[in-house]
């Protein structure tokens, strides 16, 4: 238990050494994609952000630190196993010339293996994903984390000091209540919140074209304004996103003119503007 200001927080942050500094020096921007609760499409946002950035010509790494429920390999159709190269480093699995990924699932011969690990072992695995992987020079490292504020995001806060958080929510109040906990977490561990994304924001009826809001609308933007953090944008619902993820096909490559593809393009454009402004 640790005192901070007027409040008390319960937090375990073991003073462990950072991964090889030479690895982190080659990564320009690191973003951890977080959510306060499950079911908001965080992994879908992580994968599509990585694809959108890679399609812009950036060199992108996608690191799946959801140890117990890794989804990234299946969403991107990555069936290869991680290999050890001549430098005795793990070689990330290539999705495209500009995008490669690492996940615990890519180390398991049986994809249905249950990972039954406690915090210290997960910490070690994530540390290896950073320091023992031959990422090469990257413009962006996108880190897909499990929902909540547990071991995995805390490990990233410990190991990558300049990592920034992108928080994903859906518009309804239940999700927003959990988002506020993620915001508090970031502030407690001194992690910069780069922005908030509202996913599943509106659905265009394929029959009449009318936009419906099954989960409400605008809640993410209101929460961002109240918290004083940037709002990166809204992503509409599209059943084809689920179908493509299940089939391991890039939605943006299959539907380049869709509203979802346009939303990710606008979000990555805004990310670029914010980074240029801060630098």
The predicted pLDDT at position 207 comes to 67
The predicted pLDDT at position 171 comes to 85
Question: For residue 59, what is the DSSP state?
Answer: -
- Alpha-carbon Rg for the chain in angstroms: 18
Which contiguous run of DSSP H or E holds residue 197? Answer: strand 192-198
Count of other CB atoms within 10 angstroms of residue 55: 20
Q: Which CATH superfamily is domain 24-278 in?
A: P-loop containing nucleotide triphosphate hydrolases (3.40.50.300)
- Summarised one tens digit per residue, pLDDT across range 14-26 is 444 555 677 888 9
- Summarised one tens digit per residue, pLDDT across range 167-219 is 999 887 777 788 889 999 999 999 999 999 999 887 766 666 566 777 777 78
CA distance readout (Å), 34 to 37, 97, 142: 9, 26, 11
DSSP reduced 3-state for 87? coil
Nearest alpha-carbon partner for 45 in 217, 259, 198 = 198
Structure tokens that stand for 227 in this block: 């918290």
The predicted pLDDT at position 4 comes to 43
CA distance readout (Å), 59 to 23, 75, 106, 142, 243: 15, 19, 20, 11, 27
Pairing mode of beta strands 164-169, 83-84: unpaired
Question: 71 near 145, Cβ under 8 Å?
Answer: no
Please state, rounded to an integer, the average pLDDT across all residues of the chain: 87
Across the beta sheet with 99-103, the strand order is 93-96, 99-103, 60-64, 138-144, 27-35, 164-169, 192-198, 231-234
Nearest alpha-carbon partner for 180 in 214, 220, 126 = 220
Question: 184 near 148, Cβ under 8 Å?
Answer: no
What are the residue ranges spanned by the domains of the chain?
24-278
Question: For residue 146, what is the DSSP state?
Answer: -
**Angle between helix 42-55 and 239-247 (nearest 10):** 80
- List the alpha helices (DSSP H) in the chain: 21-25, 42-55, 72-75, 119-131, 151-159, 173-188, 219-227, 239-247, 251-254, 259-278
CA atoms within 13 A on the CB side of 277: 8
Residues in the chain, pLDDT under 70: 1-20, 204-211
Nearest alpha-carbon partner for 273 in 234, 232, 226, 235 = 232
The predicted pLDDT at position 63 comes to 97
């Amino acid at each position: 238990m640790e005192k901070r200001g007027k409040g008390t927080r319960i937090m375990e942050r073991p003073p462990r050494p950072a991964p090889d500094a030479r690895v982190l020096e080659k990564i320009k921007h690191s973003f951890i994609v977080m959510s306060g609760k499950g079911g908001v499409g965080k992994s879908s946002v992580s994968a599509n952000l990585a694809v959108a950035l890679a399609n812009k010509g950036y060199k992108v790494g996608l690191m799946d630190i959801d140890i117990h429920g890794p989804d990234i390999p299946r969403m991107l159709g990555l069936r290869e196993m991680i290999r050890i190269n001549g430098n005795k480093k793990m070689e990330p699995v290539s999705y495209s010339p500009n995008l490669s990924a690492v996940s615990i699932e890519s180390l398991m011969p049986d994809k249905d293996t249950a990972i039954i690990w406690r915090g210290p072992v997960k910490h070690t695995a994530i540390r290896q994903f950073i320091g023992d992987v031959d990422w090469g020079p990257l413009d962006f490292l996108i880190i897909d984390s499990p929902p909540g504020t547990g071991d995995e995001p805390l490990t990233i806060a410990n190991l990558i000091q300049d990592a920034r958080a992108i928080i994903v929510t859906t518009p309804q109040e239940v999700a927003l209540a959990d988002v506020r906990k993620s915001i508090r977490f970031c502030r407690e561990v001194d992690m910069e919140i780069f922005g908030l994304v509202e996913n599943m924001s509106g659905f265009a009826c394929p029959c009449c074209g009318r936009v419906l809001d099954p989960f409400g609308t605008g809640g993410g933007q209101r929460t961002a304004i109240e918290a004083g953090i940037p709002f990166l944008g809204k992503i509409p619902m599209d059943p084809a996103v689920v179908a493509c993820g299940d089939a391991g096909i890039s939605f943006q490559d299959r539907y380049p003119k869709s509203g979802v593809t346009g939303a990710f393009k606008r979000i990555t454009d805004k990310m670029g503007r914010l980074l240029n402004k801060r630098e």
